[in-house]
Amino acid sequence: MGTITIGIGLALVALGAVGYSGSGAPTSLIPAAVGGVLLLCGVLARDVKRRKLVMHVAVTVGLLGFLGSIPGLMKLPTLLAGGEVARPAAVQAQSIMAVLTGVFVLLCVRSFISARRNRQGA
């Protein structure tokens, strides 16, 4: 999961950088901040002794990122249907962030369940 965490972190950093370069709004850096924390967690998770704690921190950050980006995801159908939304670029960025962090949280939960089953079976 460390490598996946690094990948998701890099994707979120890129999303924040692209959003900021396009709009200049400081809030467009939120995905980059979440991605930076996930990137750090992914690097720290390579240490076996720290892995469990660090990955629990990472999934918590991912969950908070997902919950924070849900409002944009809820506006996406309106945007895709050609309707008017305030700040369409923000809606797109929040939707991408919601998908990335949502998939990340699901992968983490699946990994945690698998790790628990492996420990119980050993």
Q: What residue segments make up the domains of the chain, in order of their start?
A: 2-121
CA dist., res. 59 & res. 8, Å (int):
12
pLDDT at 121: 80
* CA within 13 Å, CB half, 36: 7
Contacts of 10 (CB under 8 A, 6+ apart): 35, 39
Residue 9 has pLDDT above 90, yes or no: yes
Q: What is the pTM for the complete model shown?
A: 0.92
CA dist., res. 18 & res. 41, Å (int):
22
pLDDT digits (tens, 9 = 90+) for 58-110: 999 999 999 999 999 999 999 999 999 999 999 999 999 999 999 999 999 99
CA dist., res. 116 & res. 64, Å (int):
23
Dump the DSSP string for 57-98.
Answer: HHHHHHHHHHHHHHHHHHHHHHHHTT---S-HHHHHHHHHHH
Are 71 and 87 in contact by the 8 Å Cβ rule? The answer is no
